[in-house]
Structure 1
Amino acid sequence: MISSILIALSGGVAVGMSRSINGRLTMDRGAFCASFWNHFIGFLLLTVFVFIFARQGLALLVDVPGWAFTGGIIGAIFVAISSYVFPRIGANRSALLIIGGQMIAGLLIDHLRGTAQFHIGQPAGVALILSGIYLTRYSR
Structure 2
Amino acid sequence: MNVLMMIVVLLGGAATAVQAGVNGVLGRKVGTIEGSFTSFLIGTVALFLVMIFLGKGNVLQIVSLPKWQLTGGLLGAVYVIGMVFAVPKIGVASAMVAVISGQLLTSTVLDHFGLISGKPIPIDWQRVAGIVLMIAALVLFYKK
The two structures have a TM-score, normalised by structure 1, of: 0.90
Which residue matches 2:129? 124
Structure 1 residues 12-32: Cα deviation after superposition (integer angstroms, max 9, x where no partner): 111111111000011111111
Structure 1 residues 95-135: Cα deviation after superposition (integer angstroms, max 9, x where no partner): 11110010110111112326102212211210111111112
Which residue matches 1:54? 55
For 1:2 and 1:128, the matched residues in 2 are separated by: 25
Deviation at 1:49, TM superposition (A): 1.4
Instruction: Give, as a single letter, the amino acid of the residue that structure 2 aligns with 1:125.
Output: G
Moved more, 69-78 or 48-57: 48-57
Task: Please say if residues 28 and 88 of structure 2, whose CA atoms lie closer than 8 Å, have aligned partners that are also in contact.
Answer: yes
Deviation at 1:81, TM superposition (A): 0.5
Deviation at 1:8, TM superposition (A): 1.1
The two structures have a TM-score, normalised by structure 2, of: 0.88
Confirm or deny that 1:9 pairs with 2:10: yes
Deviation at 1:63, TM superposition (A): 2.8
Which residue matches 2:100? 99
Which residue matches 2:113? 112
Deviation at 1:55, TM superposition (A): 4.8
Question: Matched residues, percent identical?
Answer: 24
Task: Please say if residues 22 and 34 of structure 1, whose CA atoms lie closer than 8 Å, have aligned partners that are also in contact.
Answer: yes
Structure 1 residues 49-100: Cα deviation after superposition (integer angstroms, max 9, x where no partner): 1122215454342532211111110111110001110111011111111100
For structure 1, the residue ranges without an aligned partner over 5 or more in a row are none
Task: Please say if residues 97 and 141 of structure 2, whose CA atoms lie closer than 8 Å, have aligned partners that are also in contact.
Answer: no
For 2:90 and 2:69, the matched residues in 1 are separated by: 32
